[in-house]
């Protein structure tokens, strides 16, 4: 978790608010060095209370608006829970501060 990443995410003028919430949750998973995070879709669904389709749409919005960048890397084995690389479908993304 990076307090700097969370502060950055909270200051962004992201619309709709559901997309901003996804950004904040991703920021909560980011490391403090490079603002890299790898939350799974499953984790984002659980943390935001949004359905899978909404989370994926919000991730697309965030990428298209330049708030996050997909590094193309994936992490996880499909087991475990929480905001770390042990999760299924963990898309590694960089917050574009």
pTM: 0.80
Nearest to 20 by CA among 10, 28, 29, 33: 10
% of residues, the chain, pLDDT over 70: 79
Q: Where are the domains of the chain?
A: 3-95
Give the model confidence (pLDDT) of 35-56 as tens digits: 889 899 999 999 999 999 999 9
Say whether pLDDT at 86 is over 50: no
Question: Rounded to an integer, what is the distance from CA 77 to the centroid of its chain?
Answer: 18
91 Rama sector, left if φ>0, alpha if ψ -120 to 50, beta otherwise: beta
| Rounded Cα gap, residues 4 and 7, in angstroms | 5
Which fold would CATH assign to domain 3-95? Arc Repressor Mutant, subunit A (1.10.10)
Burial of 86 (0-12, 13-18, 19+ CB in 10 A): middle
| Rounded Cα gap, residues 4 and 18, in angstroms | 21
**pLDDT number for residue 44:** 96
- Neighbouring C-beta atoms of residue 9, cutoff 10 Å: 26
Give the model confidence (pLDDT) of 3-43 as tens digits: 999 999 999 999 999 999 999 999 999 988 888 898 999 99
């Amino acid at each position: 978790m990076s307090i700097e990443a969370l502060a950055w995410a909270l200051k962004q003028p992201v619309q709709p608010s559901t997309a901003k919430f996804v950004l904040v949750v991703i920021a909560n998973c980011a490391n403090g060095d490079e603002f890299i995070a790898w939350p799974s879709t499953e984790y984002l669904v659980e943390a935001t209370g949004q359905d899978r389709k909404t989370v994926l749409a919000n991730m697309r919005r965030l990428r298209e608006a330049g708030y996050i960048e997909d590094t193309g890397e994936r992490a996880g084995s499909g087991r475990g829970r929480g905001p770390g690389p042990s999760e299924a479908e963990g898309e590694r993304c960089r917050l574009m501060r």
